[in-house]
Amino acid sequence: MLQWLKSYFDLSGHETNLKREFMAGLISFFTIVYIIAVNASILAEAGIPLEAGIIATILTCVVGCWLMGIWANTPIILVPGMGINAMFTYTLVHSMGLSWQEALGVVVVSGIIVTIVSFTRISQLLLEAIPHSLKHAITVGLGLFLTLIGLEKGGLIVKGESSLLALGDMTNPFVIATILSIIVTVFLFVRNVPANFLISIIVGTVIAGLLGVVNFSDVGNSSISFESYASLFGAISFEKVGSFAFLVAVFSLTMVLLFENIGLINGHLNMINRPDKFKRSFQANGISILTSGLFGSSPTVSTVETAAGIAAGGRTGVTAIVTGSLFLLSILAIPFMAIIPGSAIAPILIIIGVLMLQSVKQIDFHDLSEGIPAFLVVVMIPFSYSIADGIAFGFIAYPLVKLAIGKAKEVPAALYIIAALFFLTFVAHVY
Query: Cβ of 406: how many Cβ atoms within 10 Å?
Result: 9
**Coil vs helix vs strand at 218:** helix
At 263 the pLDDT is 73
DSSP state letters, 253-280: HHHHHHHHHHHHHHHHHHHTT-GGGHHH
Q: Which residue has the higher pLDDT, 231 or 195?
A: 231
Residue 282 has pLDDT above 90, yes or no: yes
Beta strands in 45-119 (DSSP E): 78-80
What one-character DSSP code corresponds to residue 211? T
Rounded to 5 degrees, what angle do the CA atoms 13, 19, 23 make? 110
Strand-pair partners of 300:
80
Residue 109 has pLDDT above 60, yes or no: yes
Measured distance CA(14)–CA(240) in Å, rounded: 48
At 283 the pLDDT is 95
At 71 the pLDDT is 96
Weakest mean pLDDT among 1-5, 180-184, 327-331, 363-367: 1-5
Query: Cβ of 96: how many Cβ atoms within 10 Å?
Result: 20
Q: Is 388 in contact with 256 (CB distance < 8 Å)?
A: yes
Task: Write out pLDDT tens, residues 164-183.
Answer: 667 777 888 889 999 999 99
- pLDDT, mean of residues 219-239: 78
Percent of the chain scoring above 90 in pLDDT: 37
Question: Helix (H) and strand (E) counts for the chain?
Answer: 21, 4
Weakest mean pLDDT among 65-69, 127-131, 323-327: 127-131
- pLDDT, mean of residues 367-379: 93
CA 84 to chain CA centroid, nearest Å: 5
- 140 residue type, one letter: V
- pLDDT, mean of residues 369-378: 93
- pLDDT, mean of residues 254-282: 84
Handedness of CA 363, 365, 371, 377 (dihedral sign): positive
Q: Which residues touch 351 (CB under 8 Å, ≥6 apart)?
A: 185, 186, 189, 197
CA 156 to chain CA centroid, nearest Å: 23
Burial letters for 65-82: b for 16+ Cβ neighbours within 10 Å, e otherwise? bbbbbebbbbbbbbbbbb
Q: Is 391 in contact with 138 (CB distance < 8 Å)?
A: yes
At 162 the pLDDT is 56
Q: Nearest CA to 90 among 428, 393, 382, 424?
A: 382
Residue 141 has pLDDT above 80, yes or no: yes
Residue 429 has pLDDT above 80, yes or no: no
- 196 residue type, one letter: N
Q: Which residue has the higher pLDDT, 199 or 305?
A: 199
CA 356 to chain CA centroid, nearest Å: 11
- Average of per-residue pLDDT values in the chain: 86
Kind and range of the H or E run holding 165:
strand 165-167
- pLDDT, mean of residues 331-351: 82
Residue 67 has pLDDT above 70, yes or no: yes
Kind and range of the H or E run holding 215:
none
Measured distance CA(308)–CA(32) in Å, rounded: 9
Banded pLDDT at 218 (limits 50, 70, 90): low
At 220 the pLDDT is 55
Half-sphere exposure of 37 (CA within 13 A, CB side): 28
At 375 the pLDDT is 95
Task: Write out pLDDT tens, residues 1-22.
Answer: 677 777 888 888 888 888 889 8
Query: Cβ of 44: how many Cβ atoms within 10 Å?
Result: 18
- pLDDT, mean of residues 133-156: 84
